Amino acid sequence: MDNRLYLVIPCYNEEEVLPETSARLKEKVLSLIKKGKIAPDSRIVFVNDGSRDRTWEIIRELHETDVIFSGINLSRNRGHQNALLAGLMTVKDHADMVISMDADLQDDINAIDEMVDKYLSGIDIVYGVRSSRAKDTFFKKATAEGFYKLMNSMGANTVFNHADYRLMSRRALEGLAEFGEVNLFLRGIVPMIGYPWDVVYYERGERFAGESKYPFGKMLSFAIEGITSLSTRPIRLITGLGFFVFLVSIGMLIYSLVRHFMGATIVGWTTLMVSVWAIGGLILLSLGVVGEYIGKIYLETKARPRFIIDQFLHEDA
């Protein structure tokens, strides 16, 4: 076995960080090669996710100056998850192990050493887990942690405080390739692959340049996407709620009949209004959830490609 390491980095409008990121990653990879832990033909692969700035040009220049850098250009912007998947699926036949990470290097690259060590000791999937979020703003921290809790309570089991910084062996990637779903939520799917896994802790830093490409709105839709593409628990909850409302309505029926025969019927306008609104709200909510899943079925039946690759700049050793 050769222990060829490939780093996969999705990039969306990252012209400000790429020069620095590429230099730091190259240094890291070279040091690992020197220590003999990874093969000399290891690679750093940037996936350009339809950036509107000079990102792809920079990646091309990097590849021309040094073959350690590879580039994948997507035909248009498909979002972080699809870009990452495109990268993983493209390199899986070239690499023995792949580490995915963000372009802004908020995830400490020194954790790579430990990930590789775990791989060498026979682990297939190594999750990078943030030991603290001291550098994140309060808002980002609260929303991000709320996000994990919401996901888990809704049946989408993910590793707490693990984003997409992880090492996967080739056979784990082959396992991932078997998941044919279009609405792919990597963080939830990867634990389903199985195989020996472990965790590496690291401190999450600040973005050293540029701004976040994950504003609150995107994060929220990411959470909804994650929950509805991984589990059907929301439907269960709705069913349970419907059952509960039905029980309450039986109670109400008995209660109003008793009141009627006692001759104490007062036309309760308030009760009526309240129940009309409550039931109306429940129906709307249920329709919304059901609609969400129907939307998913619709998209899955179309079996659209998850990404289309325009170009793959790469040189095998």
The residues of the shown chain that bind ligand UDP, judged by CB under 6 A, are: 10-12, 14, 49, 77, 79-80, 83, 102-104, 106, 212-214
Contact in structure between 74 and 309 (CB atoms under 8 Å): yes
Stretch that binds Mg ion, among 60-68, 95-103, 145-153, 195-203 (CB under 5 A): 95-103
Partner from Mg ion, ligand UDP, none binding residue 83, C-beta < 5-8 Å depending on class: ligand UDP
CB of 115 to ligand UDP, least distance (A): 18
Q: Shortest distance, CB of residue 179 to Mg ion, whole angstroms? A: 25
Cα-to-chain-centroid distance, residue 277: 37
Task: Name which position in 48, 51, 70, 106 contacts Mg ion (CB under 5 A).
Answer: 106
Minimum distance from residue 211 beta carbon to ligand UDP (Å): 7
Please give the angle made by the CA atoms of 40, 41 and 43, to the nearest 5 degrees. Answer: 115
When the beta carbons of 144 and 199 are compared against ligand UDP, the nearer one is 144
CA dihedral 137, 139, 145, 146 (to 10 degrees): 180
Are residues 197 and 239 in contact, defined by beta-carbon separation less than 8 angstroms? no
Joined together, the tokens standing for residue 48 give 């350009």
Query: Looking at beta carbons only, is 212 or 239 nearer to ligand UDP?
Result: 212
| Torsion angle in degrees (nearest 10) through CA of 48, 52, 53, 55 | 0
Residue 156 CB, shortest distance to ligand UDP, in Å, is: 18
Q: Closest distance between Mg ion and the C-beta of residue 137, in Å?
A: 12
Instruction: Tell me the one-letter amino acid at 158.
Output: T
Tokens of 107: 């995830």
Q: Which of 14, 16, 96, 104 binds Mg ion (CB under 5 A)?
A: 104
- Rounded to 5 degrees, what are φ and ψ at 278? -65, -50
Residues that bind Mg ion (CB under 5 A): 102, 104, 106
